[in-house]
Amino acid sequence: MKPFLTATGIVITFLFGSRHVKAQGGIEAATGAFKDDVHAAAGLTCNSCHSRSAQGGERYAAIPRTAIAPLCARCHSDAAYMRGFDPRVRVDQFAQYVTSTHGKRMTAGEVRVATCSDCHAAHGIKRAGDPRSPVAPVNVATTCGRCHGDATRMTPFGRDAAIPRDWSASVHAVALLKRGDTSAPTCNSCHGSHGAMPPGVENVANVCAQCHLREAELFRASPKKQIFDAIGQAECLACHSNHRIESPADTWIGLKEGAVCAQCHDETVGGVQTIRDVRQQLDRLSAAVAAADAVLTRAERAGMLVDEGRQALRDARDQRLQSRVLVHAFAIKPFAEMATQGVTAARRAQDTGDAAMRDAQVRRRGLAVATLLVLAFLVTLGLKIRRLPDVHRE
């Protein structure tokens, strides 16, 4: 079977390879792209990768797809060679690749899976940190999506082609693509780059914990951990999903439709009172924050300086954020303590705003009295001026 797959692979590779150069507009296009290639800058030439084609002349033979990764690895797995260009460069890419789903299938002769040139390009390769590179953080999802978002390509492998679209609607995509936060996760942050493979159920929490460490710690120490392990439930995914990860809302907590707790809990299952308490306190805290913000905004519009109130409101918002994180402890006590602190801070902010509004009223009343006095003075002065003897001629 294996020799058959390899032979098929060679035939398909030959066909794909022939098209490869054509697809890039021929040798001229490849040569043009290579001028801006990181390898050209390092002094490599066409001959470094290509041999002359069987037809002779100036044409170079296309590299069979199954041979691309091993060809790249000739240099990129050679620590002594690579050190000459970058002493800190990694040389484990090929070792990782052969453990990935892509690498395993390619080794088996399945040439439709990704190899180095599919992600990095063939002749215009840029460093990963270069924003023009297809593997730069902001471009990774598009690069992966070229195949993984194409139902024609994915169906034969039994893969869902909606995944890139789901990720694009996630809070992570918004952070990365709209806010330009390059620390936000994209495909390779969770699946790996060269050793790309979906994390298993048991590993999902570890992957999320790369960034969401506090939530992961709280969850591991919570009673939910044992239950999830026992039923084989992937931890974070149960409430947050995997690719289409939306910004969590307080309405997720509860027993009504739309609440994630309601997926497992109803009136007959334990923990109902805790769910209600958590939701009630979060609502109370959010209401206190909104009320404080409203009065501080009114005071600011009235020209009052309410910096202390704004600081207290920032504290309240921070404590609300921490309260939401503490939901992952699945215990009422630490959550309630933090939520109460938040409500206290929000009330302090509201008090500052109320005091500023009272002060603004006092100022306006004072101004009204002063204006009346000034007007009275002006009227008196005007009458005095009118009663002065008229101007005279020289």
Partner 1 sequence: MRGRLRPWLEERLPLADVIETLRHKTVPHHRYSVWYYFGGMTLFLFGIQVGTGALLLLYYRPSAAEAYESVQFIMTRVPFGWLIRSIHAWSANLMVACAFAHLFSVLFLHAYRRPRELTWVSGMILLLLTLAFGFTGYLLPWNEVSFFATRVGTDIAATVPAAGDFIVRFMRGGKDVTGATLTRLFGFHVAILPAVATILIGLHLLLIQRHGMSLPPSVEQRAAKDPGAIRTMPFLPHFLLRDLFAWTAVLALLAALSTFYPWELGTKANLFAPAPAGIRPEWYFLWGFQTLKYLPPTVAGINGEFLAVAAMGVGAAAALVLPFVAGHTPRSRRIIVWLGLFALSFMAAMTWLALTGSAP
Q: Using CB under 8 A, list all residues that contact partner 1.
A: 303-305, 307-308, 363-364, 366-367, 370-371, 374-375, 377-378, 381-382, 384-385, 388, 391-394
User: CB of 101 within 8 A of CB of 113?
Assistant: yes
Question: Is 166 or 351 the residue whose CB approaches partner 1 more closely?
Answer: 351
Query: In the complex, what is the shortest distance from the CB of residue 138 to partner 1, in angstroms, rounded to a whole number?
Result: 20
Cα separation of 175 and 382, whole Å? 66
Q: Which residue has the tokens 């603004």?
A: 360
Cα separation of 276 and 336, whole Å? 12
Tell me which residue of 232, 223, 181, 230 sits closest to 204, measured CA to CA.
232
Query: In the complex, what is the shortest distance from the CB of residue 349 to partner 1, in angstroms, rounded to a whole number?
Result: 15
Cα separation of 309 and 354, whole Å? 10
User: What separation, in Å, do the N-terminal and C-terminal C-alpha atoms of the chain show?
Assistant: 124
Tell me which residue of 112, 47, 130, 42 sits closest to 81, measured CA to CA.
42
Query: In the complex, what is the shortest distance from the CB of residue 378 to partner 1, in angstroms, rounded to a whole number?
Result: 6
CA 106 and chain centroid, separation: 30
Question: Is 56 or 303 the residue whose CB approaches partner 1 more closely?
Answer: 303
Query: In the complex, what is the shortest distance from the CB of residue 311 to partner 1, in angstroms, rounded to a whole number?
Result: 12
What CA–CA distances, in Å, run from 67 to 40, 63, 111, 124? 21, 7, 10, 19
Query: In the complex, what is the shortest distance from the CB of residue 351 to partner 1, in angstroms, rounded to a whole number?
Result: 15
User: CB of 243 within 8 A of CB of 186?
Assistant: no
Cα separation of 319 and 342, whole Å? 5
Cα separation of 166 and 246, whole Å? 10
Question: Is 214 or 364 the residue whose CB approaches partner 1 more closely?
Answer: 364
- CA quadruple 327, 332, 333, 337: dihedral, nearest 10: 60
Cα separation of 64 and 58, whole Å? 19
Question: Is 149 or 309 the residue whose CB approaches partner 1 more closely?
Answer: 309
Is residue 117 helix, strand or coil? helix
Question: Is 44 or 302 the residue whose CB approaches partner 1 more closely?
Answer: 302
Query: In the complex, what is the shortest distance from the CB of residue 315 to partner 1, in angstroms, rounded to a whole number?
Result: 18
Neighbours of 391 (CB within 10 A): 5
Question: Is 1 or 391 the residue whose CB approaches partner 1 more closely?
Answer: 391
Type of residue numbered 172: H
Query: In the complex, what is the shortest distance from the CB of residue 379 to partner 1, in angstroms, rounded to a whole number?
Result: 10
Query: In the complex, what is the shortest distance from the CB of residue 238 to partner 1, in angstroms, rounded to a whole number?
Result: 41
Query: In the complex, what is the shortest distance from the CB of residue 374 to partner 1, in angstroms, rounded to a whole number?
Result: 4
Question: Is 249 or 375 the residue whose CB approaches partner 1 more closely?
Answer: 375
